[in-house]
Amino acid sequence: MIPLLINVAGREFRRPLRRLMTGLVTEGVLVGLGFVALMPFLSALLAADYAAALRAWVLLAVILLAYGMLRWRTQLAGYHAAIALARALFARLGTHIARLPLGWFSEARTGQLAVLSSQGIVNIMAAPAHLLRPMIVAFTTPVVVLVFMAVIDWRLAAAVAVALPLGWLATTWTGRLVERSDRRVHAAATEAAGRIVEFAQAQPVLRAFGRGASAAADLDAALVEQRNAFRAQMRAIAQGFLTFIVVIQAALTLLLVMGVNRALGGAVDVPELAALLVLGLRFAEPLIVAADLQSGLRISEANLSRMKRLLATAPLPEPPSPRQPEGNDVILENVHFSYDGAPVLRGISFTAAPRGLTALVGPSGAGKTTTLRLMARFFDTDSGVVRLGGVDVREIGSQELMDRIAIVFQDVYLFDGTIADNLKIGKPEATEAELGNAIKLAQLEATLGRLPHGLDTPVGEGGAALSGGERQRVSIARALLKGAEIVLLDEATAAIDALDEARLRDAIAAIARDRTVIAVAHRLSTVRAADHIVFVENGRVAEQGSHDALLEKDGRYAAFWALHATSAVTQLPAGFTRRNLNG
């Protein structure tokens, strides 16, 4: 586990860990010497040699004093090492998360990350703070005791030493049981945490549709699985611990039988036998304590392994010599992309011209949002090229790329702060004039007028204090305030009423006069206002052109337009055109 600790925490953690390990090994040796010093003391006491007993007692007191002082220092060193470890892990985790591709952050991974960065790091901290001491003492103390016992009677020492390989086998078996059960506990905890958050956030919808009971059943099932997983882990720990206790007790019984036999044969006198039996008990004590805590060490190790896997996740590579885009056009050339081996885009090619609005249109699941995310380099393409200003996005530095792009997501997330705080995330130094202009363009003025504190209104976690339309308008104003040359809109008007949508459409058209605007859209008015329309279906560009030209062509876009104008249908039968609709 020690190499894993250093590997995950980094080289800067090596020095405090080395100091701690040195102190703990020395502490274990002192504990063993203290137990050894008991033997001459007890032997002299039983033989009524009080002068020798006094000398042995003084030696025992010196060892005890040295142990007490060292124990105090190693205890503090353990706490300091745990704090240093947590600091190193949080630093490495934060730095690495900031470099991971945006496409990595799925809902499941976010839940796992939440568990790992909270309870997981606490479990890892337990290793240097509480668990390494008994484990190291459990190794060094019995070694010292065994060496001294071998000097007195190697046969009795051998009888006790039998417990070590058997105990190691029991410990290994227990570790495997705990490792398997910990995976189940971790998965159950992640699922339960997600269900709790989902249940709390979805209360208005659940109650409105009378689905509270069914959602509660899903939550209850997740909590029951978490309880069952924890119980299974406790059973695994208990089985291993009891097996280890049986091994140790068997070794002590063997020591007692052999010791009595050798004492009766005159090979060992009674005081020596009594002292050896005491040493045998002291030999077993740290092993039993370590066995009790071994499951905790395995849990810490399992969390360290999860942390290592996360830190091993490759970030999107940075170009060795970043290039500067020359212009703001966006070009996709024969782009292919897959999610977990399932093809999503199959040879997408089109150009989004600067100073214009390009609309991505098509049935649900056609690959429109994925196309938008590839432009912002949430992922790298499987093959093909995405160019910005004539430069492959993989050859543009990540910060430069993000500075040039503003994104309005379909699922808006606002940070727990005021409206002003959220607006200025992309441009903290924004002037009042710039802020006012973004608010006006995003049609946010009326909303701020209704709120008692205006821009200083708290939005709550995730923007819970605002309506869906209000959150969307704040998100749009935030993107506009950034002042990026390329604006990506993923259903940006989905949660806005018809009046505000018309106003916002005009604002988007105004923005598109001097910026590159690319929008995934379903609303017919937004689509019609586009300078260039790309109809995406089954991961391919089926048609592209202006609205009038595509209607004149009477192909897939025309049929899609006609169906949307008359119904809520979003999937087209193969070969379906507007002529089919007209009968």
Do 133 and 250 have their domain in common? yes
Give the structural domain span for 99: 2-311
Specify the CATH number for the domain of residue 84. 1.20.1560.10
Do 18 and 129 have their domain in common? yes
**Radius of gyration from C-alpha coordinates of the chain:** 35
Do 122 and 203 have their domain in common? yes
Do 531 and 565 have their domain in common? no
Dihedral pair phi/psi, residue 339, rounded to 5°: -100, 115
CA distance 424 to 430: 7
Structure tokens at 58: 């003084």
Domain assignment present for 117 = yes
Do 259 and 355 have their domain in common? no
Domain assignment present for 119 = yes
Please answer whether residues 415 and 422 qualify as being in contact, where contact means their C-beta atoms are separated by less than 8 angstroms: yes
Q: Which of 185, 184, 135, 162 is nearest to 20 (CA)?
A: 135
Domain assignment present for 438 = yes
Q: How many domains does the chain have?
A: 3
Do 343 and 361 have their domain in common? yes
Please answer whether residues 24 and 290 qualify as being in contact, where contact means their C-beta atoms are separated by less than 8 angstroms: no
Q: Under 8 Å CB-to-CB from 336, ≥6 apart: which residues? A: 343, 345, 346, 347, 348, 381, 382, 383, 384
Do 137 and 278 have their domain in common? yes
β-strand partners of 532: 358
Domain assignment present for 512 = yes
Please answer whether residues 161 and 167 qualify as being in contact, where contact means their C-beta atoms are separated by less than 8 angstroms: no
Q: Which of 475, 476, 473, 474 is nearest to 496 (CA)?
A: 473
CA distance 360 to 367: 9
Task: State the first-to-last Cα distance of the chain, in angstroms, to the nearest integer.
Answer: 73
The pTM score is: 0.65
Specify the CATH number for the domain of residue 528. 3.40.50.300
Amino acid at 540: R
DSSP letter assigned to residue 458: B
Do 14 and 137 have their domain in common? yes
Do 434 and 358 have their domain in common? yes
Please answer whether residues 241 and 177 qualify as being in contact, where contact means their C-beta atoms are separated by less than 8 angstroms: no
Question: Average pLDDT for consecutive 10-residue bins of the chain (583 residues)?
Answer: 75 80 88 79 77 86 90 89 86 84 75 80 86 80 78 73 71 72 79 76 65 70 85 77 73 71 66 67 68 72 84 85 91 92 92 92 88 91 94 91 86 85 87 87 83 87 78 84 88 66 72 86 79 92 91 88 63 49 44
Amino acid at 410: Q
Do 292 and 373 have their domain in common? no
Domain assignment present for 218 = yes
Please answer whether residues 1 and 52 qualify as being in contact, where contact means their C-beta atoms are separated by less than 8 angstroms: no
Report the run of H or E that residue 352 belongs to, with start and end: strand 342-352
Please answer whether residues 226 and 192 qualify as being in contact, where contact means their C-beta atoms are separated by less than 8 angstroms: yes
Domain boundary among 256, 277, 311: 311
Q: Which of 429, 427, 448 is nearest to 439 (CA)?
A: 448
Do 302 and 444 have their domain in common? no
Please answer whether residues 445 and 488 qualify as being in contact, where contact means their C-beta atoms are separated by less than 8 angstroms: no
Domain assignment present for 482 = yes
Domain assignment present for 323 = no
Q: Give the pLDDT confidence score for residue 213 in this predicted structure.
A: 63
Q: Please report, to the nearest 10 degrees, the dihedral formed by the alpha carbons of residues 318, 324, 329, 333 taken in order.
A: -40
Do 264 and 349 have their domain in common? no
CA 482 to each of CA 429, 443, 477: distance values in angstroms, whole numbers, following the listed order: 10, 16, 9
Domain assignment present for 321 = no
E strands, 114-209, where? none
Q: Give the pLDDT confidence score for residue 533 in this predicted structure.
A: 93
